[in-house]
Amino acid sequence: MKKFLICAVAVCMLAFGALAFTACDEGENEGAVTLVNIANPSTGISAAADFDYMVAAEPVVSAKVKGTASAPEGSRLVVVGNLQELYGEGGYPQAVVVVKNSLIQSDPALVASFAEAIAASCAWVNEGSVDIAAVVDAVSSHRGGADPTFSAANLTAQVIENCAIGYTSAAESKEDVTAFLSKLAGVGTQKQVSEGFFYTSAQSAADASDASAVIDVVMPDGAPALSMAKLLADEAQFGCTVRYSVVAPTAIQTYVTGNDPAAEICVMPVNAAANLLGDGSNYRMIATVTHGNIYFLSAKHPGLQLTKENLSELAGKRVGCIQLENVVGQTLRAVLKDGGVEYKIAE
């Protein structure tokens, strides 16, 4: 009995010690912004969370603002900043379209056709009069048994506008992409891309030269899928067989890697594209389709709109950020670094 009690006390002390260790703060750099990762936006983005500010993406941003609109002050989440504007005019290249080199070589006219169609799709979804139900249906019908990010309940014209969907060819966005990746490299381990990564050749568009060809077009759910909504709605075939798939964002890289990557055309985050495909040996980028959909929310500081000029207001504050180790968090860190605001990442 005595031995059992001693063991029990020892275990309790160990457990308590581990808990205390994980809970304690570093204590260094008190004036810095404390960045904390938010693993699950639906539960982690909350007025009750221990954050001064939260960085999230659409449609979560609009859903949370709408959901707390009738809450008392202090419990009401409001948008207090736009990460795209803080980065720079026009935002930053967020999602890009990459095409398999084998397709580029075998049928460049088809690739040009796709590029034109994607541009038209981006313009279509941005029309104020676009049928929201048609957009939702186009994406959800290709989501393969999963609940789509955007639904009739959370997709509005304002949300589409907030997603900054817009087609920019590789030739036009090359400089922006290179500059963005350099900034990400300055705050993390981001690979740069080679010159050969950008496909800038001007070709006349035409349908597939081989009618028996099967083209797999894959895109992650969310804003990137919205940019392709017209192609999904029309099931555009381009004179061959085109299969569209909207997949979980965490799985997108599996469609462009491996011995025989599944996707001929893929929309993916620019940082992932650079890390996996940046040498241009398997895939090349043809366009940028989204330019950032990340916003700051706050319940504790609703009156202060964050700008480049007052970014120092974040000093000493706790900021929860989704995907802290991915493009969202890296962009935030780049913006803070450019603004001369020190930050630390809470473990």
Partner 1 sequence: MNGKQTPPRSAAASFAPRRKRLAAHFREHKWTYFLSALSLAAMWGIWAAAYFAVGNDYVVASFSDTVRALGVLLGEGSFWRAFGFTLLRTLAGWLLAFAFAVLFAAASAASKKFRIFFAPFISVFRTLPTMAIALMLMIWSDPRVAPVIVSFLMLFPVTYAQLMAAYGGIDGKLFEMARVYGVSRKDVLWRIAVPGMLPAVFSQAGANLSLSLKVTVSAEVLVSTLHSLGSMMQNASMNVQIARMFALTLLALLVGGLFAFALGFLKRITRRWQGGEGA
Task: Report the C-alpha gap between 230 and 207 in whole angstroms.
Answer: 17
Could you give the CA distance from residue 206 to residue 110 in angstroms, rounded to a whole number?
A: 5
Binding mask 44-83 for partner 1 (x = CB under 8 A): --xxx-----------x--xx-xxx--x---x--------
**Least Å distance between CB 80 and partner 1?**
17
Stretch that binds partner 1, among 83-91, 105-113, 150-158, 185-193 (CB under 8 A): 150-158
Tell me how far, at minimum, the Cβ of 8 lies from partner 1, in Å. Answer: 24
Q: Is 168 in a helix, a strand, or coil? A: strand
> Which residue stretch of 92-100, 188-196, 224-232, 244-252 sits at the interface with partner 1 (rule: CB under 8 A)?
244-252
**For tokens 């555009």, what's the residue?**
236
Residue 325 CA to residue 308 CA, distance in Å, equals: 23
| Of residues 75 and 307, the one with the C-beta less far from partner 1 | 75
Alpha-carbon distance values, 328 to 7, 55, 58, 73 (Å)? 46, 8, 12, 28
For residues 253 and 288, which CB has a smaller minimum distance to partner 1 in the complex?
A: 253
The pair of structure tokens assigned to 17 is 């010690």
For position 251 contacting partner 1 by CB under 8 A, the verdict is: yes
Query: By C-beta, is 146 or 346 nearer to partner 1?
Result: 146
The binder of partner 1 chosen from 17, 31, 144, 196 (CB under 8 A): 144
Q: Report the chain's C-alpha Rg in angstroms.
A: 23
Q: Tell me if 272 sits within 8 A of 220, measured CB to CB.
A: no
Q: By CB under 8 A, name the one of 159, 164, 193, 247 that touches partner 1.
A: 247
Given the structure tokens 């780049």, which residue do they identify?
334
Interacting residues with partner 1 between 83 and 142 (CB under 8 A): none
Q: Is residue 145 within the footprint of partner 1 (CB under 8 A)?
A: yes
Distance of CA 245 to the CA centre of its chain: 18
Residues in binding contact with partner 1, number by CB under 8 A: 27
Residue 60 or 336: which CB sits closer to partner 1?
60
Q: Which is nearer to partner 1, 150 or 197 (CB)?
A: 150
Q: Which is nearer to partner 1, 78 or 336 (CB)?
A: 78
Candidates 13, 15, 153, 214; binder of partner 1 (CB under 8 A) is 153
Closer by beta carbon to partner 1, 44 or else 81: 44
Max CA separation in the chain (angstroms): 85
CA 316, CA 152: separation in Å to the nearest integer? Answer: 39
- By CB under 8 A, tell whether 147 contacts partner 1: yes
Is 312 buried (19+), middle (13-18) or exposed (0-12) by CB count in 10 A?
Answer: middle
Q: Decide if residue 152 touches partner 1 (CB under 8 A).
A: no
Among 33, 34, 41, 246, binds partner 1 (CB under 8 A): 41
Q: Strand order in 165-169's β-sheet?
A: 165-169, 283-290, 95-100, 265-269, 214-220, 241-247
Q: Using the rule CB under 8 A, is 15 a contact of partner 1?
A: no
The total of other beta-carbon atoms located within 10 Å of residue 258's CB is 9
Q: Which amino acid is at 39?
A: A
Instruction: Please say which residue, 216 or 338, places its beta carbon nearer to partner 1.
Output: 216
Residues 6+ apart with CB under 8 A from 17: none
Q: Residues interacting with partner 1, by CB under 8 A?
A: 41-43, 46-48, 60, 63-64, 66-68, 71, 75, 143-147, 151, 153-154, 247-248, 250-251, 254
